[in-house]
């Protein structure tokens, strides 16, 4: 007869093999549970109490067996398994955990269900050995608490800031270390912090440093192997363009279409598989602008389809598309011969800004705010341009303007004239619109800007 397999006495010391990636991280849930179970072997055994006395009136074997059962202990979180470059207390560890959750959720709108789990890579590895990067993350985590509570920087945040700058200056004295991904990440964290706090002088200093470092590395595309850094640098580049007209790169962009527009998107609902046909194309003088706009339409239809079918897009796919569109729009700056084309270019930049869920200070994009207002006020209103003007005013009100601003509402009331939200929404969808992301803020903007018109009935749509 085959012998019955029994657990060896030294089971706690037996080997178990798990698969890891190039950075030593475990991705499979079953492997993480295996690691935790091995960590907990022998930890939950009840030790006898030397002062305990046996009861003279025992309640039987059942009660005795129950008293000897181990007390279950909750398994540690993934972050509790991370070995940091320096020891930290439980409060700081909890603060870092909340920061990582919050910062990941800020990268993309939750409504779109973008999968960003694969973006962590080297960032967690740096925390285990790079003191400068670790200190910059502590700074960002502490500042996040101040920002969420709407308070000035705390003493702890100021202390983290001084330590981070000191460690950064040491790194910059070493040419090789100064160009490293970790060093650029530190400067990036400082730049974002200055942006959120409204410290324009510090922001300009850090951006100037970033521009030099990115140039020395060969441009943004040199960071594609580090997806998360590439995303954050591209976001900063985009925000810089909307703020001051400047941007990192000078190399030419690819001007061809990203999608095959003739092939409809697969969908259970055919309406989401169609790309709107807009007569405004005949107004575009520059064919490059037409191609970009069609890409943006197709991308929005792709997102609408994904949300409808409860599917996700990878963060890399999402950002590759967004980055291609934003780069080409930035390259067209100052090259379009017609006012309508420039106005539409600015409107598409504002539309892309709605995809970035990053905390902003009021009037964060001065260049976009001033130029889009000037363009919208200069456009001649004709019946065939009403939908275009309505869309431009709407995306402007969702990004850089307040919907109650007089000039915005006056133009809306005199030239746009949508009678209900349902009709307005349909006209917006005929241009470019992401339902899950824009319906709620769009309805709020519509209600405010339509408030003065007596014949406007706010029906549900």
- Percent of the chain whose predicted confidence (pLDDT) is above 90: 32
Residues (pLDDT < 50) of the chain are: 2-18, 20-24, 26, 38, 43, 45-68, 70-76, 118-119, 267-273, 359-363, 453-461
- Distance between CA atoms of residues 442 and 361, nearest Å: 21
**Which pLDDT value is given to residue 20?**
45
Burial of 445 (0-12, 13-18, 19+ CB in 10 A): buried
User: Taking the C-alpha atoms of 403, 407, 408 and 410 in order, what is their torsion angle to the nearest 10 degrees?
Assistant: 110
**Which pLDDT value is given to residue 365?**
84
Q: The tokens of 170 are what?
A: 């040491």
**Which pLDDT value is given to residue 252?**
55
Q: The tokens of 352 are what?
A: 């892309």
**Which pLDDT value is given to residue 119?**
46
CA 212 to chain centre: 25
Residue 395 and residue 432 in contact, taking contact as beta carbons nearer than 8 Å: no
Residues 6+ apart with CB under 8 A from 383: none
**Which pLDDT value is given to residue 428?**
94
**Which pLDDT value is given to residue 281?**
57
Closest among 306, 264, 416, 286 to 348, alpha carbons compared: 286
**Which pLDDT value is given to residue 180?**
92
Q: The tokens of 356 are what?
A: 């970035």
**Which pLDDT value is given to residue 132?**
94
pLDDT one-digit tens code per residue, 128-152:
889 999 999 999 999 989 888 888 8
- Distance between CA atoms of residues 178 and 172, nearest Å: 5
Average pLDDT value over all residues in the chain: 77
| Predicted TM-score (pTM) of this structure | 0.74
- Distance between CA atoms of residues 28 and 44, nearest Å: 25
Which residues pair with residue 115 across a beta bridge? 314
- Distance between CA atoms of residues 207 and 109, nearest Å: 25
pLDDT one-digit tens code per residue, 418-460:
789 999 999 999 899 999 999 999 999 999 998 854 444 444 3
């Amino acid at each position: 007869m085959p012998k019955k397999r029994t657990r060896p006495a030294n089971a706690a010391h037996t080997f178990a093999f798990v698969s890891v990636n190039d950075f030593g991280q475990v991705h499979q849930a079953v492997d993480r549970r295996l690691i935790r179970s091995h960590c907990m072997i022998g930890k939950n055994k009840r030790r006898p109490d030397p002062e305990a006395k046996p009861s003279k009136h025992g309640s039987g074997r059942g009660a005795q067996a129950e008293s000897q059962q181990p007390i279950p202990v909750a398994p540690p979180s993934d972050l509790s398994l991370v070995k940091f470059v320096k020891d930290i207390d439980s409060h700081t560890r909890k603060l870092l955990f909340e920061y990582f959750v919050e910062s990941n959720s800020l990268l993309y709108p939750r409504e779109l269900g973008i999968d960003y789990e694969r973006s962590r890579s080297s960032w967690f590895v740096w925390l285990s050995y790079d003191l400068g990067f670790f200190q910059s993350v502590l700074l960002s985590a502490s500042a996040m608490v101040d920002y969420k509570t709407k308070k000035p920087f705390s003493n702890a945040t100021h202390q983290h800031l001084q330590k981070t700058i000191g460690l950064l200056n040491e790194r910059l004295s070493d040419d090789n270390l100064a160009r490293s991904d970790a060093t650029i990440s530190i400067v990036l964290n400082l730049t974002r912090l200055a942006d959120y706090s409204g410290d324009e002088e510090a922001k300009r200093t850090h951006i100037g440093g970033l521009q030099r470092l990115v140039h020395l590395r060969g441009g943004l595309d040199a960071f594609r192997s580090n997806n998360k850094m590439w995303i954050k640098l591209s976001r900063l580049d985009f925000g810089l363009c909307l703020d001051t007209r400047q941007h990192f790169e000078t190399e030419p962009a690819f001007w061809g279409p990203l999608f095959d527009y003739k092939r409809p998107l697969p969908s259970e609902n055919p309406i989401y598989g169609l790309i709107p046909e807009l007569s405004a194309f005949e107004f575009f003088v520059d064919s490059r602008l037409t191609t970009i706009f069609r890409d943006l339409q197709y991308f929005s239809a792709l997102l609408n389809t994904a949300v409808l079918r409860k599917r996700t897009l990878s963060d890399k796919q999402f950002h590759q598309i967004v980055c291609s569109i934003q780069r080409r729009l930035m390259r067209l700056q100052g090259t379009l011969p017609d006012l309508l084309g420039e106005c539409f270019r600015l409107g598409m930049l504002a539309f892309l800004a709605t995809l970035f869920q990053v905390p902003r200070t009021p009037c964060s994009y001065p260049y976009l705010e001033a130029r889009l207002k000037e363009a919208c006020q200069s456009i001649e209103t004709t019946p065939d341009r009403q939908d275009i003007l309505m869309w431009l005013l709407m995306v402007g009100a969702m990004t850089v303007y307040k919907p109650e601003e007089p000039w915005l509402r006056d133009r809306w009331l005199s030239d746009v004239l949508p009678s209900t939200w349902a009709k307005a929404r349909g006209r917006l969808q005929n241009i470019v619109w992401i339902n899950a992301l824009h319906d709620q803020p769009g309805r709020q903007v519509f209600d405010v800007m339509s408030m003065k018109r007596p014949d406007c009935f706010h029906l549900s749509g």
